[in-house]
Amino acid sequence: MRVVGIDPGLRLTGYGCVAGQPGRPELVEAGVFRLVAKGPLRSISARLVELSKDLGEVLDRLEPQAVAVEGLFTHYAHPTTAVVMAHARGVVLLEVQSRGLRLIELKPAAVKKSITGSGRADKAQMQRAVQHLFSLPEPPDPPDVADALAIAVCGAERLATGAEAIRFAIEQ
């Protein structure tokens, strides 16, 4: 089963695709969409259109069975971050739904705990954990790629254990 993980943002949106068995994920592809925030045609709406196009192409090419996306979170020091991130998440949710793919929404702390053992892991810890998990020569860079891969791995684990299937059945 292929699962794509998305770390949404309006400047950088990381994506990662994993496949394979639980506990032994295989890296299929990972990257980042760089959404240009400068220039006269780079309004938020223009970046959202660009994200939709780029993500749609990746989903069509990789043909995942599910997409895992980071849920919204807020930090008291940066309250507008959640609003900005929500714009990108909305595009991701739309692209997933329009393709009839299964959606898995994960809390950031749950992903961090699943990958590093700590729900408070920082970006560097996440990068090193993903590097180790996939035996990469270097940590994924930018950190959004590592986060997206971690989200994909966590989503795949949830599907494999049936936790997501139970939640899906309850919501129906």
Whether 50 is catalytic is no
Whether 63 is catalytic is no
- The catalytically annotated residue of 70, 95, 147, 157 is 70
Whether 70 is catalytic is yes
- The catalytically annotated residue of 50, 95, 144, 157 is 144
**Could you identify the residue written with the tokens 């989503």?**
155
- Catalytic positions, written as ranges: 7, 70, 144
